[in-house]
Structure 1
């Protein structure tokens, strides 16, 4: 049975990725520009996301407005895919979902600079735009390029001589430009452009404005953070980084799987790509039951298993003969030479980091506690000698996968023997029809 509707918040890259999967959704965005991007997302037509059908809503809503919308539209579940710094919107969404008893999932993109990385050379971390403005106020005479969004510019009007010292890069919309004018920013100090911006362009803007400081938020990859850091380094500018608010969330892949479960939607079957692992190195991170079971499956397929964990179950020496056991925490260099990786610890953060590192190196990875972060789904292997089949429910139901694979194992050996015997009878010189 299928039914219900997803209420999706965000004019972000993540929201558009969710729409592209064709999930029926009412998409709420704050600006006309965000609505235009949502409606133009490839695959969004299948989700009904178009202004003509009224399924892209533009405008900001408070908690009461969101609760009313949930009731009026028959919403089954909600995904908050707003910007990592959209604190008030996220708070309102949570309040409305708590009030209406509606299931909610938060999607949060990865930061380009993890907490603690602010001490890296050329980066100063501050807690808010107000703190950033106080820092600039104390750096008398220095110019700064602000790339924090137009809604944050008011905090920087407290900087002495801000009209001369500060340059604001904002979206090229009439509403934003009016706001900049009302705040007193000189038109010559407003750079109205739509990204993305390359490192070269960021560096050129810093040099053009004479700015020795770049003030920004960590918008991750979609926010062009890496290009900002590289551009600042090239221009010899210091980065003032406004830290993210404390928040937790999941990946887009996890959100898509969750929405499909909540709405009862099917997904296409996975393509069962079989790969020769004999003599090749595979990395398994984890030393518990799940990790060792998957390591044993890989070893059975002839792989050279490299297992990393501070601790291993006592039985590890049995199912993993010849495996390389590294009794310590995971390190990125553990992926060197690996053709496949599995993250199966009981620590969500470690699994997430393994997935990130593997994907960044182009290594297929299975993340046991987050199918949406995986680039392949670890199958249930059914084998008799070299003859094998795999079973997977694409991460939607582990119980179904187990039941089907158990039933298949109960007959697989007999089936293989039966079909081999039939082929032998049919072969030339045999006793079957093929030998006549």
Structure 2
């Protein structure tokens, strides 16, 4: 058996990563989590909670090349154990992290389930708890338990825990999500809830549907904030990272060519990478604007518009294409997100996973072009292949043009 990826899942992100046929060991805490990935190709499933020492032993005994932590944003203990185990086993680790929800002033933010319960004690009206079964014990201090309705997974152990926490069958909603806006609205109406308690599960956890449903039903939202967490990556980043470590291939990218003649292209950044991107787009006839507080010497003779300032979202106005090539990863990520919101194709120079298109190595001779890509897995291979192609491309094009002329004359 070859080397594999150990993926700690039990989440939407974990299930998403099982779709790509990586050689996986998928670790989940419960049999229910395992059932959700039944039949996943090239995936071995292991069930049960492990502490840091058990994780370290498992990594060493199972020929694990790298670890992806796609556990829930609130699974702090599991996250810390995974980090400690990987450090002890000297195994590369990538954390997959959901984007946090953006909320307005109508949402009451609290630090913990205990704080949410104390807040509710000073209110009136029924409450729909959508935090899962782990936090139910925290709501024991609410004096009028008849106000509380718990929405939990339809798992026998979970139902048993609800009963132990004082919830009778009339106050338990046992259902598997995802829950649509309409379903959330119906549950709020059926329970008569004036309050909805939730965690910030991000888009994958249906937070937007919960907030909008509460708003439409004139209920208030109490959100338990996430534990503080540094860093974190997307599923796409984790997939690329694991493939690079294992030396795996992927389907080739579809080379969708587009006409950029006299169309606006906006580049953020004033260094060498930004200059290379600008030169390519200028060669393709684009009207290029480059935004940066400073510009390298490569821009001195370049036929493009230089705007000497920091990047702002308004700089994307009217752009047909955008490139984020600053020296700040956070700024690049913000540019990528802003472009996608506006439906503008964007290339993010330092993060292939944030791109909506991949900037190719372009080989040209007049209007004849070819693009080279190694699927974002090996920029070095892309560069070497493009250079070899450039060394013969002009001659090939001339030969084929001449052959066509001969055929036409004959």
Q: 2 CA distance for matches of 1:274 and 1:164?
A: 62
Describe the SS at the equivalent of 2:64: coil
The structural deviation recorded for 1:336 is 4.2
Structure 1 residue 226 corresponds to structure 2 residue 215: no
* Residue in structure 2 matched with residue 99 of structure 1 by the alignment: 88
Describe the SS at the equivalent of 1:229: helix
- Give CA deviations for 1:362-387 in whole Å, capped at 9, x if unaligned: 43322211112222211111112111
The structural deviation recorded for 1:140 is 3.2
The structural deviation recorded for 1:36 is 1.2
Q: CA RMSD in A?
A: 2.0
* Residue in structure 2 matched with residue 212 of structure 1 by the alignment: 194
Maintained 8 Å contact 1:5/1:25: yes
Q: 1 CA distance for matches of 2:308 and 2:288?
A: 11
Describe the SS at the equivalent of 2:212: helix
Q: 2 CA distance for matches of 1:133 and 1:344?
A: 47
Describe the SS at the equivalent of 1:427: helix
* Residue in structure 2 matched with residue 23 of structure 1 by the alignment: 22
- Give CA deviations for 1:44-74 in whole Å, capped at 9, x if unaligned: 22x2x2xxxxx11122111122112112211
Structure 1 residue 129 corresponds to structure 2 residue 113: yes
* Residue in structure 2 matched with residue 417 of structure 1 by the alignment: 398
* Residue in structure 1 matched with residue 218 of structure 2 by the alignment: 236
Alignment size in residue pairs: 409
Q: 2 CA distance for matches of 1:38 and 1:356?
A: 30
* Residue in structure 2 matched with residue 167 of structure 1 by the alignment: 149
* Residue in structure 1 matched with residue 384 of structure 2 by the alignment: 403
The structural deviation recorded for 1:22 is 0.5
* Residue in structure 1 matched with residue 348 of structure 2 by the alignment: 367
The structural deviation recorded for 1:92 is 0.8
Q: 2 CA distance for matches of 1:318 and 1:125?
A: 53
* Residue in structure 2 matched with residue 431 of structure 1 by the alignment: none
The structural deviation recorded for 1:320 is 4.0
* Residue in structure 2 matched with residue 185 of structure 1 by the alignment: 167
Structure 1 residue 356 corresponds to structure 2 residue 355: no
Maintained 8 Å contact 1:11/1:38: no
Q: 2 CA distance for matches of 1:375 and 1:277?
A: 17
Q: 2 CA distance for matches of 1:25 and 1:336?
A: 43
Q: Give 5+ residue unaligned stretches, structure 1.
A: 50-54, 429-434
The structural deviation recorded for 1:97 is 0.8
Describe the SS at the equivalent of 1:299: helix
Maintained 8 Å contact 1:257/1:396: yes
User: Residues 183 and 274 from structure 1, CA distance in 2 versus in 1: closer, same or farther, beyond 3 angstroms?
Assistant: same
Q: Which moved more, 1:393-402 or 1:275-284?
A: 275-284
User: Residues 219 and 326 from structure 1, CA distance in 2 versus in 1: closer, same or farther, beyond 3 angstroms?
Assistant: farther
Maintained 8 Å contact 2:11/2:72: yes
The structural deviation recorded for 1:311 is 4.0
Superposition map of 1:26-425 within 5 A: 26-40=25-39, 44-45=40-41, 47=42, 49=43, 55-113=44-102, 117=103, 120-137=104-121, 139-161=122-144, 163-247=145-229, 248-313=231-296, 315-316=298-299, 318-321=301-304, 323=305, 325=307, 327-331=309-313, 333-425=314-406
The structural deviation recorded for 1:81 is 0.8
The structural deviation recorded for 1:415 is 2.5
Maintained 8 Å contact 1:285/1:343: yes
The structural deviation recorded for 1:34 is 1.3
- Give CA deviations for 1:266-289 in whole Å, capped at 9, x if unaligned: 112222221111232333233332
Maintained 8 Å contact 1:285/1:330: no
Maintained 8 Å contact 1:257/1:372: yes
- Give CA deviations for 1:337-381 in whole Å, capped at 9, x if unaligned: 433322222222222223233334443322211112222211111
The structural deviation recorded for 1:147 is 1.0
User: Residues 215 and 318 from structure 1, CA distance in 2 versus in 1: closer, same or farther, beyond 3 angstroms?
Assistant: farther
Q: 2 CA distance for matches of 1:16 and 1:367?
A: 26
Q: 2 CA distance for matches of 1:95 and 1:249?
A: 16
TM-score (norm. length: structure 1) = 0.88
The structural deviation recorded for 1:324 is 6.8
Q: Which moved more, 1:353-362 or 1:377-386?
A: 353-362
Runs of 4+ in 1 over 4 A off after TM superposition: none
Q: 1 CA distance for matches of 2:150 and 2:308?
A: 50
- Give CA deviations for 1:233-252 in whole Å, capped at 9, x if unaligned: 10112221111222221111
Q: Give 5+ residue unaligned stretches, structure 2.
A: none
Maintained 8 Å contact 2:272/2:298: no
Describe the SS at the equivalent of 1:76: strand
- Give CA deviations for 1:263-316 in whole Å, capped at 9, x if unaligned: 121112222221111232333233332123212312221223343444444653
Q: Which moved more, 1:257-266 or 1:199-208?
A: 199-208
